[in-house]
């Protein structure tokens, strides 16, 4: 009887050593996915706002206003505009690049993907809707 109890305790302990890190890794992967989704959405929103402007200065300001309206949370700690290309090469498009820093809830130091302060990059392209037509 005592051997069965001891064996059960060892099995539970070994199982927890496997299950707990897997559970923490799932939480960390979820945070990474949420961070990338937020970054992609913010890049798209900033590109749309920039696409409704008439010049590069106004486009940059509009993109900055969209990003500055975002309130950081427990996962996404900061979002910044890296670059705004407005009608580069007369392409009729605006390209916005953003960078997001995310906080990993349960960082695992030996796995590089699960480090705190992970940077995410996103790029969004939108057609410019406020350009004047060439005669």
* Residue 47 in domain: yes
Position with higher pLDDT, 100 vs 118: 100
* Residue 74 in domain: yes
* Residue 134 in domain: no
pLDDT of residue 134 exceeding 70: no
Which residues are bridge partners to 116 per DSSP? none
d(CA 65, CA 125): 18
* Residue labelled with tokens 């990474």: 32
* Residue 46 in domain: yes
pLDDT tens profile 7-56: 788 888 888 888 988 898 898 889 889 999 999 999 999 999 999 998 89
pLDDT of residue 121 exceeding 90: yes
Its domain, for residue 86, covers: 2-127
d(CA 70, CA 36): 15
* Residue 133 in domain: no
**Quick one: three-class SS letters along 16-75?**
HHHHHHHHHHHHHHHHHHHHHHHHHHHHHHHHHHHHCCCCHHHHHHHHHHHHHCCCCCCC
* Residue 14 in domain: yes
* Residue 86 in domain: yes
Q: How many domains does the chain have?
A: 1
Q: What is the pTM of this model?
A: 0.80
* Residue 53 in domain: yes
Of all residues in the chain, what percent carry a pLDDT higher than 90?
A: 46
């Amino acid at each position: 009887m005592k051997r069965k109890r001891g064996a059960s305790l060892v099995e539970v302990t070994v199982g927890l050593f496997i299950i707990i890190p897997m559970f923490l890794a799932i939480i960390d992967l979820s945070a990474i996915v949420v961070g990338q989704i937020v970054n992609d959405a913010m890049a798209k929103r900033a590109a749309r706002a920039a696409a409704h402007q008439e010049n590069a200065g106004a486009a940059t300001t509009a993109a900055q206003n969209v990003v500055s309206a975002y309130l950081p949370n427990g996962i996404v700690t900061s979002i910044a505009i890296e670059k705004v290309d407005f009608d580069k090469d007369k392409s009729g498009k605006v390209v916005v690049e953003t960078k997001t820093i995310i906080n990993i809830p349960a960082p695992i130091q030996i796995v590089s993907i699960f480090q705190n302060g992970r940077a995410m990059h996103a790029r969004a392209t939108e057609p410019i809707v406020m350009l004047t037509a060439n005669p």
